[in-house]
C-alpha cells in the first residue's frame, strides 16, 4: 500500500490534496479501497452543495458493502470525477490518481485542516 507524503488523511480513510487555488481534491485511501474490495459504484449526490466538515458527501459501493464518504474540510462540491463514476474500478486501481472522487471549493475564512493527518500519522493509525 502507498501513502503519498504530499496528501493529508483522515481517520475515516479519505485523503485530500490542497490545490493552492482555493480548491482541493478528495478520494479514499489505498487502505480503504483494499479493505472495501472491488468497488462497483461511486454515488455522489451533493454536487453544488456546501457541506460542513465531517458531513457525508457520497458513498462508494463495493461487492459486499456500502461505505459513506465524509468531507474532510468544509467546502462546496464543485466537481465529481466522471471517469470514476463511469469506471468505479479506478478507485481500486489508482486511488490517488485517476480514482479521485470530488473537487471542492474551500469555504473561505475557515482553517479546518488542523486535525488532518500526515502520511506517517495515518500509517500509524492503521497499523502500517
pLDDT digits (tens, 9 = 90+) for 34-88: 999 999 999 999 999 999 999 999 999 999 899 999 999 999 999 999 999 999 9
Q: Which residues contact 14 (CB under 8 A, 6 or more apart)?
A: 26, 27, 28, 29, 32, 69, 70, 71, 72
Q: With bands split at pLDDT 50, 70 and 90, how would you rate the model's confidence at 14? A: very high
Q: Which residues contact 87 (CB under 8 A, 6 or more apart)?
A: none
Report residue 57: phi and psi, to 5°: -110, -5
Q: What is the pLDDT of residue 110?
A: 61
Q: Which residues contact 61 (CB under 8 A, 6 or more apart)?
A: 39, 40, 41, 42, 43, 67, 88
pTM: 0.93
Amino acid at each position: 500500500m502507498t501513502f503519498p507524503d504530499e496528501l493529508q488523511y483522515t481517520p475515516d480513510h479519505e485523503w485530500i490534496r490542497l490545490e493552492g487555488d482555493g480548491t482541493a481534491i478528495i478520494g479514499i485511501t489505498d487502505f480503504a479501497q483494499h479493505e472495501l474490495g472491488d468497488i462497483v459504484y461511486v454515488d455522489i449526490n451533493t454536487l453544488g452543495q456546501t457541506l460542513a466538515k465531517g458531513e457525508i458527501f457520497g458513498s462508494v459501493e463495493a461487492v459486499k458493502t456500502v461505505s459513506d464518504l465524509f468531507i474532510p474540510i468544509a467546502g462546496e462540491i464543485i466537481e465529481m470525477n466522471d471517469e470514476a463514476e463511469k469506471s468505479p474500478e479506478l478507485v481500486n486501481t489508482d486511488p490517488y490518481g485517476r480514482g479521485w472522487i470530488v473537487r471542492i471549493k474551500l469555504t473561505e475564512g475557515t482553517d479546518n485542516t488542523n486535525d488532518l493527518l500526515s502520511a506517517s500519522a495515518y500509517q500509524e493509525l492503521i497499523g502500517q
